[in-house]
A and B are shown apart, each in its own frame.
Chain A
Amino acid sequence: GESVGLHLPTLSVQEGDNSIINCAYSNSASDYFIWYKQESGKGPQFIIDIRSNMDKRQGQRVTVLLNKTVKHLSLQIAATQPGDSAVYFCAEIRITGFQKLVFGTGTRLLVSP
């Protein structure tokens, strides 16, 4: 069935390194993607989004890349900090009568000082 999934369940990096979190999606009709950060004990926090008519979008220390050819999404975090340690989810909006957000399985990012 259709799904949004992630390649790596856990990613460990050193402070100051760049982090790349990957996500594969299977619904080519999805036209909007969001990355969320979820810290322990909290709800998902919006990080950055991208529409399907774009292939790159930059925010503060974060960049999202979208490759529609291979249905792949990535989140790049520059100069990773210990405060970036969290679970990161990609999510896609599927238009099926009305909009709903479908989440991937999540990647845990561990940043060592």
Chain B
Amino acid sequence: SAVISQKPSRDICQRGTSLTIQCQVDSQVTMMFWYRQQPGQSLTLIATANQGSEATYESGFVIDKFPISRPNLTFSTLTVSNLSPEDSSIYLCSVEFSGNTIYFGEGSWLTVV
């Protein structure tokens, strides 16, 4: 399996500011995904990030609010912009590895105050 590291693991941010979350993988992977998990809820896909192309966003998520970078095959960032309390969630990076199997990082826990 792949080792997926996310930073920060937790943060408390003021409303109106932005937070950038980093995801580092110990292997080269083609497909990386960003998910949001609101308190007590399941995981919702935000976007798919493939190296060398623009991220593909799911319905309800837009690039202005959730800009994503994917500069190489082992790294991606997700920025959550113009924070509001409703953005308080866990943000999870995941990768497709070894043919369909998808692994997750430990998540970045965001609280907006």
Residues of A within 8 A of B58 (CB): 100
Residues of A within 8 A of B107 (CB): 42-43
Residues of B in contact (CB 8 Å), total 22
Q: Which of A44, A45, A46, A100 is within 8 Å of B101, CB to CB?
A: A46
Q: Mark B85-112, 1 if CB is under 8 A from A, else 0.
A: 0000000101010001111111100000
* Selected interface stretch from B42-50, B65-73, B75-83: B42-50
Q: Which bucket holds chain A's interface residue count?
A: 20 to 34
Q: Which of B48, B96, B104 is within 8 Å of A44, CB to CB?
A: B104
Chain A binding surface SS class: strand
- Which residues 1-60 of A have a CB within 8 angstroms of B? 32, 34, 36, 42-46, 49
* Given A34-B102, A46-B104, 13 other A-B residues pairs in contact with their CB atoms under 8 A: A34-B101, A44-B104, A45-B104, A46-B102, A49-B101, A89-B42, A91-B102, A98-B56, A99-B100, A100-B45, A100-B58, A102-B45, A103-B44
* 27 A-B residue pairs with CB within 8 Å: A32-B100, A34-B102, A36-B104, A42-B106, A43-B92, A43-B107, A44-B92, A44-B104, A46-B102, A46-B103, A46-B104, A89-B42, A89-B43, A93-B100, A93-B102, A98-B31, A98-B48, A98-B50, A99-B31, A99-B100, A100-B45, A100-B48, A100-B58, A101-B94, A101-B102, A105-B42, A106-B42
Chain B residues with CB under 8 Å of chain A are 1, 31, 33, 42-45, 48, 50, 56, 58, 92, 94, 96, 100-107
